[in-house]
Amino acid sequence: MVGAGRPAAAAAGLAVARVASPAPVLAQTSTSPVIELDVVRKIYQTGEIAVEALRGVSLTINEGEYVAIMGPSGSGKSTLMHIIGCLDVPTSGRYELAGEDVSEMDEIDLAEVRNRRIGFVFQQFNLLSSMSALRNVEVPLSYAGVPREIRRRRATEALSRVGLGDRVQHRPGELSGGQQQRVAVARALVTDPALVLADEPTGNLDSVATAEVLRLFDELHDQGRTVVLITHEAEVAERAARVIRIRDGEIATNDIRGGR
């Protein structure tokens, strides 16, 4: 099992994996599933007490979808995010990510899948304060063994894509909160993942920076990226085309809406 304390390591790309060159992004929604959960259950055992955090969740998210997952504290929302992000595994049930069954993988295999398939964006940014924006974005490529010249070019391109082409040598402390989150988005994109998974990405931002980052997610969706936001904020969830609400470890509602 992978511990829940793994998100920072995953975001920094602390896994050795081979990363392919970026493929063209199709600006349309496909019917090809990126996420498929089939009767997924998660039980945490504490001594003699068993807590069922997820109770048979079945869910499909297709390539190019923009989905928000909402739920109150204790609803199972964070557990679902950990399983979708390959930070944990189900107690039972099946989970396929981009056609690959990850339900029973060990920690090493899950780390490789995370680095190849998922771009993480977290509330706390998880940037390395001693490194420039460029070096922070390079980190997943560095652990994947990508040659220095190639990873530098790809990191520069990723920062330019999020509007920070003139901030590549700035350290996190020299950037605003919104700019730091854009660096985190660039790092999430640099491996060309099948899925961008954002956990409360605006939780530490003011209203101006929140609008800036949400516009960036809108653009990613418009480019054909699969984006899943975990949020408790209704105004953030409203940007998505589909809102899934979790309650007591089960999907309470799964609403397709117009999005923006």
Banded model confidence at residue 4, pLDDT cuts 50, 70, 90: very low
Average pLDDT over residues 36-61: 95
Percent of the chain with pLDDT over 70: 87
Instruction: Examine the pLDDT at 6 and tell me if it is beyond 70.
Output: no
> Residue 80: what pLDDT?
95
Query: What confidence tens digit (pLDDT) does each residue in 149-166 have?
Result: 999 999 999 999 899 999
Phi, psi for 219 (deg, rounded to 5) = -65, -40
Helix axes 148-161, 177-189, angle to 10 degrees: 130
> Residue 258: what pLDDT?
56
CA distance 84 to 68: 13
Instruction: Examine the pLDDT at 9 and tell me if it is beyond 80.
Output: no
Specify whether the CB–CB gap between 205 and 43 falls below 8 A: no
Q: What is the residue type of 42? A: K
CA distance 184 to 169: 15
Query: What confidence tens digit (pLDDT) does each residue in 202-251 have?
Result: 988 889 989 988 998 998 899 889 999 999 888 899 999 999 999 999 99
Banded model confidence at residue 259, pLDDT cuts 50, 70, 90: low
Domains in the chain with CATH codes: 7-11+27-256 (3.40.50.300)
- The CA-CA-CA angle for residues 178, 88, 102, to 5°, reads 105
Average pLDDT over residues 118-134: 93
Average pLDDT over residues 28-37: 78
Instruction: Examine the pLDDT at 8 and tell me if it is beyond 50.
Output: no
Instruction: Examine the pLDDT at 175 and tell me if it is beyond 60.
Output: yes
